Amino acid sequence: MKGRRRSNSAPFLFSDDPATGAKVTDRVWEIGDSVKVVEDWEARAVTEIRQLRMRRSLRESVGSLIWPDGVHLETFSESRAAEVHALLELAYAGGGGAVDAFEEWWSSLSTDSEYSPDLCFPAYASEGAIVAIAQCWTSAFIKDLAVHPGWRRRGIGRALLLHVFHVFQERGALAVDLKVQTENPSGAVQFYKSLGMFQISD
C-alpha cells in the first residue's frame, strides 16, 4: 500500500519494504529539484573557473620600490578598520572581489589565526584619505589588494604589491601567493604577471 504526504519542500512516497515490512521513504524528484541542482552545479563551476591562484617567488630580487607622488604608507590601526572596509566595498563594487558587512568582515578577519595587524598595509593620499590597502595572512598569502577606483593607473597597486613582497622576503618567506578572478575587470591577472607572478595549482 502506498500513500502520499506533502511537505514544504517536496512530496515523499511511503511504501512497505518487502523484506522487513517497515515503511520506506522515497523522495519524489521534482522539476524544481533539477533546476536547483543545475544552479548549484553552475555556481560551483563559475567559482572554480573564476578563481586563479598565483605566486611570486621571493628567492630573487623583487625590484625597486618607489611610491607615487602624494601617496604614502601608514601603520595600520584597528581603530581605522571601518575605513579599510569602506575602501574594499568601493573597490569591489565593479567586480573582482566581494566583502561582507563590516561587523561580519571584521569579526572574521580579526579573529583568524593568520591575522596580524602588522600585515595590513594601508596607503593614504597626502590629504589623509585612504586610497589603497593590502591585507595579508601570516602564511604569506595576500587576502586583499584593492585600490580606490579614482586612484588607479598611478602605480599605487604596483608599489603596494612590491612592498608586500619585500616584507615577506624579510620575514624569510620563499614565495607569496594570492587568488584572483580570471574575469577581474581591472586586468589584475596581467598586472600580477607583470610583477613576476605566475599561475599555480592549489
- Give the torsion through C-alpha atoms of 98, 100, 106, 110, to 10 deg: -60
Give the chain's residues under pLDDT 50: 1-15, 23-29, 31, 34-35, 37-38, 41-47, 49
What is the reported pLDDT for 187?
83
Q: Which amino acid is at 152?
A: R
Domain covering 52-200 assigned CATH 3.20.20.80 in the classification: no
Q: How many CB atoms within 10 Å of residue 188?
A: 20
pLDDT tens string 20-79? 555 444 444 454 554 454 455 444 444 454 789 999 999 999 989 999 999 999 999 999
Extents of the domains making up the chain: 3-48, 52-200
What is the reported pLDDT for 16?
52
What is the reported pLDDT for 38?
42
What is the reported pLDDT for 51?
83
What pTM did the predictor assign? 0.75
